[in-house]
Structure 1
Amino acid sequence: MPIIIGIMKPRLYKNLLRVLYILSIAVYIYFLTDGWSFYETPYQERPHMEQRYRNLRPAGFRGHTFGVIGSLMMIFMLLYSARKRMERFQKAGNLSHWLDIHIFFGIMGPLLIVLHTSFKVQGLVAVSFWSMVAVALSGVFGRYLYIQIPRNILGNELSTDELEKINKEMADRLKTDFNLDDELLSIVEESAAPRLAPDAGIAKMLLLLLVNDLSLRFGLRKIPADLAARLEMPPKLLHLLWRRARQRGLLRMRTMLANQVHQLFHYWHVVHKPFAVIMYVIMVIHIAVDVLMGYRWIF
C-alpha cells in the first residue's frame, strides 16, 4: 500500500489517510456501541445473555473476528521496520508513508484487541494488553519526535549541509518574493517564531516547538498590527509571508534541536521496543495455547 500511495500527490494522500481514519473510527464506534450492553455487564452475568455471549465473547464469531484482524494489524506494523532496516526495501515507497500506515495499524489494532477481550483483561493477557497500551502511547510521542527531524520527500533525514542550504533558500525566497531587506526579514521571523538560545533546555525547546506547531496548524498566532502596518501588504500576501516565515522559524528550531532529538529518540527506543517485544511474545503464546486447547479459525 505505501508503494502505491508513494506516487500520489501529498494533498490527495493526506485526504485519503483522513478518510481511512474517519471510516475506521466510525465502524469501530458502531461495533462498540452495538455491543456496549454486553461489555458493561459483569463477567459472571454475561453467559445469561445467550446470543450476545456466543457472538461477542473472545471465542465468539465477532469477538474472534476482532482478535484475528487486530492481530494481523499488529503483525503488519512490523513491515515498517522491514522497510526501514532491510536494504532490499530501501526504495519501496516513501518512508513517512510507511510510518503513517504503521501508526494507523498501531492505533486500530489495539482498539480491535480491546473489543476482542470484551473488556475482560486478566492473567497473562493483561501483561500483553498493558504492554500494547504502552507501545501505542509511546508511539504517539515517538511520532512527534520523528517529525521534528527534517526530512526530504522520500522521508530520509536531511544532512546539516542540506538543512543550511534549505534555510538559505527559504530566506532568499522570502526576501525576493516579498521585497524584504535583511533587517525587516529578521524582524518578521523573530515575531513569527522567536529564536531560542543554543543552550536552552530540551524540554523548553520541545514545548515551544509544540506550541508553534499547533499555532501554525490552527492559525492561532497572528501577525502584530504594528508589523502589518509597517509591511504595507495586501492581507492575502501578508498571510502568506507570515506563514512562510513561521515555517522557516520552525525549521531553524528543529535544526538546533537535531542532536537533542536524536538522544531522546534513543531513550524512546529503550522504552518502546521492550514493551513491543513483550506484547508480541505473549500474543504468540496466547494464540498457540488457544490452538492447542482446540480453538480453530471459525470463518
Structure 2
Amino acid sequence: MGPSIFMSSAFAGAEPVPRESRTPHSSRDLLVYLTLVALTWGAWQISRLQLFEAGDDVGYWLGVAGGVMMVLLFSYPLRKRFRFAQSWGKAKWWFLVHMLLGVGGPILILIHSTFEVRSMNAAAAFYSMIIVALSGVVGRFIYSRINRGLHGEQVDLLALQQRAGLHQREAHSRLRFAPSVERRLMAFGRHEVSLRPGLWMSLRRVFWLPVKQWWTYLACVRELQGPLQDLAAQGAWSQKNQAKRQHLARKLVRRYLNSVVRVAQFTAYERLFSLWHVAHLPFVYLLVISALFHVFAVHAY
C-alpha cells in the first residue's frame, strides 16, 4: 500500500463526529470555584473593616436578607415536587435562581457574622450553613456531570455510548497505521465500560479513571511517534504537515478516550448523586432547626 493511500485513510474519510462542548467541565468548574473563593475572600475583607457588628442595625438586616435568601432556596425543590407549580416558568430559570440564592445567602450570612460566633446557637446555625453550602457545591459538581447545563435535561446514556461507538469506529479506521495504539485504545474502552457498577467502582471511576485516561493518552502519544515518522518519510511530508497530522492523531486519541470516560462515569455520577441526596438532607434539616432557634434566641434575649 502506497504512502498516499495511508495518508488519506489515516486522516480522512471517516464518519463525522459531533463536536465536543466548547466549555469543558474543568474550565467551567474552575471559574465557578474561583468565583466562590473570591466572594468569600471579599466577605472576609468586609468583616475586617469593622463597619458593623452582627447585633447592630446593619448586621441585623444583613442577617435577615441572608436568611430570607436561604428560605427562598426551598422554592426550587417545592416547585419540582408539586405538580401545580411546575407550570410556573421554565425549570432552568428556577434552577439558576436557586444557585444564585445558594451563593448569595451564605455570603450575606458570613458578612453578617463577621466570621465570629458568640453563642452556641449561633455556632450551630453558622456551621450548619457552612456544611450545607459546601455540600451544595459538591452536589452542583455531580449534577453538572449528569445533566446538560441549566436545563436539567438529563444526558442520555445511550447517546453517550453511541458517541463512544462512533469514535471507536473512527479510531479503528484512522489509526490502523499504528496497531499498538489501536489495540491500547480498544482495550481501554472494553475494560472500563464492561466493569460492574457499585459504590467502590463509582469512586474508582470518578477519581482514578481520569488518571488512567491520562496515562493511556501519554502512552498512545509515544507509540504514535514511530508510525507517524515512517509515514512522513514515505510521503515526504513537510515539518508543518507532519505537525498537523500529529496533532490530528492526538486529537483523535483524546476524543475517543474522553467518550469512553464519559460513558463509564455516567452511572458512577448518577449513583453518587443519589447518595449525595441522602447525605445532604439531614444537614438541611439541621440548618433549618438551628437557624430557627438562633432567630428565636436573638429576638427573645
Structure 2 length-normalised TM? 0.63
Give the distance between the partners of 1:125 and 1:193, measured in 2 at CA: 53
User: Residue 167 in 1 paired to residue 158 in 2?
Assistant: no
2:206–2:268 contact (8 Å) kept in structure 1: no
Partner in structure 1 of residue 138 of structure 2 = 141
Aligned ranges for residues 22-61 of structure 1 at < 5 Å? 26=38, 28-36=40-48, 52=50, 55-61=51-57
Give the distance between the partners of 1:250 and 1:171, measured in 2 at CA: 12
Give the distance between the partners of 1:229 and 1:135, measured in 2 at CA: 53
Aligned ranges for residues 76-115 of structure 1 at < 5 Å? 76-87=72-83, 88-89=85-86, 92-93=89-90, 95=92, 99=95, 102-115=98-111
1:150–1:254 contact (8 Å) kept in structure 2: no
**For residues 192 and 115 of structure 1, do their structure 2 counterparts lie closer, same or farther at Cα, with a shift above 3 Å needed?**
farther
1:142–1:265 contact (8 Å) kept in structure 2: yes
1:121–1:129 contact (8 Å) kept in structure 2: no
Give the distance between the partners of 2:193 and 2:52, measured in 1 at CA: 54
Give the distance between the partners of 2:210 and 2:61, measured in 1 at CA: 39
Return the offset for 1:139: 2.7
1:72 to 64, 68, 71: 68
Return the offset for 1:269: 2.6
User: Residue 279 in 1 paired to residue 275 in 2?
Assistant: no
2:121–2:293 contact (8 Å) kept in structure 1: no
2:245 to 234, 240, 249: 234
1:244 to 249, 255, 270: 255
1:66–1:112 contact (8 Å) kept in structure 2: yes
Q: Deviations over 1:133-161 (max 9, x none)?
A: 22223333333443443669832335xxx
Q: In structure 2, give the amino acid aligned to 1:167.
A: Q
SS at match of 2:200: helix
Return the offset for 1:16: 10
Q: How big is the alpha-carbon RMSD for the aligned residues of Structure 1 and Structure 2?
A: 4.4
Q: In structure 2, give the amino acid aligned to 1:179.
A: S
Return the offset for 1:109: 2.6
SS at match of 1:73: helix
Give the distance between the partners of 2:190 and 2:98, measured in 1 at CA: 31
1:149–1:254 contact (8 Å) kept in structure 2: no
Return the offset for 1:15: 9.4
Give the fraction of aligned pairs with identical amino acids, expressed as a percent: 21
Return the offset for 1:244: 1.8
Aligned ranges for residues 159-198 of structure 1 at < 5 Å? 162-173=156-167, 175-176=169-170, 179-180=173-174, 187-188=184-185, 190=187, 195=192, 198=195
2:29–2:141 contact (8 Å) kept in structure 1: no
Return the offset for 1:246: 2.4
Give the distance between the partners of 2:267 and 2:273, measured in 1 at CA: 15
- Specify which structure has the bigger relative contact order, considering alpha-carbon pairs within 8 angstroms and separated by 6 or more residues: 2
**For residues 242 and 192 of structure 1, do their structure 2 counterparts lie closer, same or farther at Cα, with a shift above 3 Å needed?**
farther
Give the distance between the partners of 1:10 and 1:154, measured in 2 at CA: 17
SS at match of 1:234: helix
2:96–2:150 contact (8 Å) kept in structure 1: no
Q: Which structure's CA Rg is the greater one?
A: 2
Return the offset for 1:166: 3.6
Give the distance between the partners of 2:33 and 2:268, measured in 1 at CA: 31
Give the distance between the partners of 1:279 and 1:36, measured in 2 at CA: 26
Return the offset for 1:253: 0.8
Q: In structure 2, give the amino acid aligned to 1:113.
A: I
Return the offset for 1:71: 1.8
What residue ranges of structure 1 are gaps of 5+ in the alignment?
A: 1-8, 38-51, 294-299
Aligned residues between the structures: 259
